[in-house]
Amino acid sequence: MSLAFAGPNPAAVPVHIVAKDQAEAAVAELPLIGQQWARTQGFTGALGQVLVLPDAQGGIAQVLVGYGTAQTRARGRFHLGAVARQLPKGAYRIASGLTDADLEEASLAWLLAAYSFDRYRKPGDSIAALVAPDGIDAARIQIIAQAEALTRDLINTPASDMGPDELEQAARDLAKAQNATISVTMGDDLTDANFPLIHAVGRASPRAPRLIDMRWGDSGPRLTLVGKGVCFDTGGLNIKPGASMGLMKKDMGGAATVLGLAQMIMALGLPLRLRVLIPAVENSIAGNAFRPQDILPSRKGLTVEINNTDAEGRLVLADALALADEEDPDLVISMATLTGAARVAMGPDLAPFFTDHDDHAAAISDAAQQVADPVWRLPFHEPYEAMIEPGIADLDNAPGGGMAGCITAALFLRRFVQSPYVHFDIYGWQPSAAPSRPKGGVGMGARAVLAALPRLLKL
């Protein structure tokens, strides 16, 4: 699997992107035999329609690709990714029909269309190659595509091969490749180092819990990324039903996403100081598992009443966020597959995020639209604070009633951070295949954050 552009190739087949209202004019510009062929094939410029035009030797002279209307394009993204998989193998170049902004999305879509998760099967066939279009930052787009592939690979790997050990190794491999430093606190050392919540959640598993701490960069603003690394979630003693446990290999999707984002930042050499914190655990069932109604201490000193052991992600994040906050970074961003409530509210394709800073929200929302990485701001709604205060302890990890679950989870996390803070409640999974996104693990929000960083940190 090569998520990279083809080298310069004068023989690359030209691809013309044709909106529906331009289809008749585009066909009229073809040679007479091409016009007849286009009309015979019924080319109308409908979104995703592909017309391969032969040359006199039986090869491919050019390709017309339907771009539909603004309305049909708005109902999806990465449309050229579907086209890339329909074309015969060979080298192609986008010759006309796209604005600069659309050209970047189309180029990324083409590269991501080559992704497949082949660890446990014979690799699939390669797809048509794209010569990097003029006017785009090809190196940047390749870095983004390859980092997205890392995120997808980590999420797609089953828990049998992606526990805390393997997640740590993935972080170590990334640190080595990018000349970052890394330290890990694990097992009972977590208690000695004052990470009681991470230890409590992970202690029932034979795979030791740990906190992974990666650093890169020696100048510029401080950015700390915190990713939920629950490598499998049984629900603990509040065990999940089978249907709810089926996708829990993806419960480390927040960790996978921040590692992908970290790879983008480091590979692009952004002028900042990066820290990545990943609490990596497996929420298992054993005699020493934490229990409902337990009251647990946290690194910050706040006590937490456990009303559902299946609300474990916010617990491990809490200790990591408290650690992040201790050095007063310019920005803390957490990413986590945290609540089902977020999916009910937003569905699988839209990542909600929370921040108290309107300028941060605007930067992320604007960037998300520019790079086709959809997000939506939800509020830290102050009146709901009482819902996470149980009375017997400082905080309740799972307030009853079933209302506003993603907001109360976000409010819980905010209690552990004083620094400027953004929290993403992502899904990390593509439930059915779409252009450039096969069914399986997928990054959410990382490209939006990357594009927003110049505004967020004044780079």
Rounded to whole angstroms, the Cα distance separating 163 from 209 reads: 9
The highest-level CATH class for domain 146-456 is alpha beta
Query: Quick check: is 222 catalytic?
Result: no
> Assign residue 14 a region: left if phi > 0, alpha if psi is -120 to 50, beta otherwise?
beta
The pLDDT score that the predictor gives to residue 387 is 96
Query: Quick check: is 240 catalytic?
Result: yes
Fold match flag (13-136 vs 146-456): no
Active-site choice (73, 85, 172, 240): 240
Rounded to whole angstroms, the Cα distance separating 95 from 63 reads: 10
Partners of 211 in the β-ladder: 185, 279
Rounded to whole angstroms, the Cα distance separating 257 from 253 reads: 6
Which segments of the chain have a pLDDT < 50?
A: none
Tell me: the pLDDT tens digits for 197-215? 999 999 999 999 999 999 9
Rounded to whole angstroms, the Cα distance separating 374 from 143 reads: 20
Rounded to whole angstroms, the Cα distance separating 438 from 432 reads: 7
To which CATH superfamily is domain 13-136 assigned? Leucine Aminopeptidase, subunit E, domain 1 (3.40.220.10)
pTM (2 d.p.): 0.97
DSSP, collapsed to helix, strand or coil, labels residue 214 as strand
Rounded to whole angstroms, the Cα distance separating 6 from 4 reads: 7
Domain edges within the chain: 13-136, 146-456
Active-site choice (93, 152, 222, 314): 314
Dihedral (CA of 266, 320, 233, 209) sign: positive
In 72-147, where do the E strands start and end? 91-96, 129-130
Q: Please check whether residue 281 is in contact with residue 204, taking contact to mean a CB–CB distance below 8 angstroms.
A: no
